[in-house]
Amino acid sequence: MRKVIVIGSNGQLGRTIKDCATKETLEFYFFFRSELDITDKKSLMAAFKDSGFDYCVNCAAYTNVEDAEANTEDAFLVNAEGAKNVAEVCNTYQVKLIHISTDYVFDGKKNEPYTITDQTNPINQYGKSKLQGELDIQEHLEEFYIIRTSWLYSLYGKNFLKTIINKLEDGSVLNITTEEQGTPTSCVELAEFIIYLVKSDKTPYGIYNFSANGSTTWFGFAQEIAKHLPHRNSNQVLPTDKFKTLAKRPKYSLLNLKKRKLTIENF
């Protein structure tokens, strides 16, 4: 039975993979940050040694885009140095790596979906740190999948879907930005894709884009959420083009899904 280690497993994607894993015949090993810290290479080495892991799914990341502007070193420590540690350890123990990256490696100046070969040019520290992680993995490992995804939501952790539901249920009126266009993506779909990669065991290595289909703005997403809540209505969600954030965000970050569709049946 294939053995899969999932690192950063207390985050929203890690927890969703755990849910999806219950119906699989793969052997999963889940590690929280307190059990395995990717900035600590010695611990990684010890966890991988004699483990017989076939795949490593790296869900560990510094994901607070706003805080990364001030805490840039911390973001790079986890998203770049940590990713490099994971790649080196995977290389040492011949473990295939599935690493998660982001649409924020792009600057958002395009007006059609980003392909995997488009020029990267992150415009905030989070995106820069994630891109450095991608580059380090490519330098230190051959057997890797880097999955760029976007606007994740799930039942767990902090995410836009949960924040909007909570605020609407409080009766708040929300001003939501119309300035960014992207694709909200369910962690369940991404978790199923990750599990598919492990099960198929023959998908060509490399960078993949993975998101849901279609596109919207954060305002459009919030309106859609409001429509599905009983006793709430979309009048509680108002558009704004004046939403200020510390971190610059790409105005357009749709991902081109052609490679995924061509390479992988079922997805």
Ligand X SMILES: NC(=O)c1ccc[n+]([C@@H]2O[C@H](COP(=O)([O-])OP(=O)(O)OC[C@H]3O[C@@H](n4cnc5c(N)ncnc54)[C@H](OP(=O)(O)O)[C@@H]3O)[C@@H](O)[C@H]2O)c1
CA distance 231 to 224: 14
**82 sits near ligand X (criterion: CB under 6 A):** yes
Number of residues that bind ligand X (CB under 6 A): 26
Nearer to ligand X, 8 or 122 (CB): 8
CB of 36 to ligand X, least distance (A): 6
The 3-state DSSP composition of the chain as helix, strand, coil percent (nearest 5) reads 40, 20, 40
**11 sits near ligand X (criterion: CB under 6 A):** yes
Indicate which single residue of 4, 56, 90, 102 sits in contact with ligand X (rule: CB under 6 A): 102
Nearer to ligand X, 187 or 237 (CB): 187
Residue 239 and residue 182 in contact, taking contact as beta carbons nearer than 8 Å = no
The window from 105-113, 135-143, 150-158, 251-259 that contacts ligand X (CB under 6 A) reads 150-158
Residue 13 and residue 154 in contact, taking contact as beta carbons nearer than 8 Å = yes
Indicate which single residue of 2, 10, 115, 167 sits in contact with ligand X (rule: CB under 6 A): 10
Indicate which single residue of 44, 68, 80, 152 sits in contact with ligand X (rule: CB under 6 A): 152
Q: What is the DSSP letter of 104?
A: G
CA distance 224 to 218: 10
179-208 binders of ligand X (CB under 6 A):
none
- Helical H segments across 80-147, by residue range: 83-92, 125-140
- Which residue sits closest to ligand X, CB atoms considered? 11
Distances in Å between the Cα of 205 and the Cα atoms of 13, 54, 140, 146, 148 are 21, 14, 14, 8, 14
Q: Interface with ligand X by CB under 6 A: which residues?
A: 7-8, 10-14, 33, 37-39, 59-63, 78, 82, 100, 102, 130, 149-152, 157
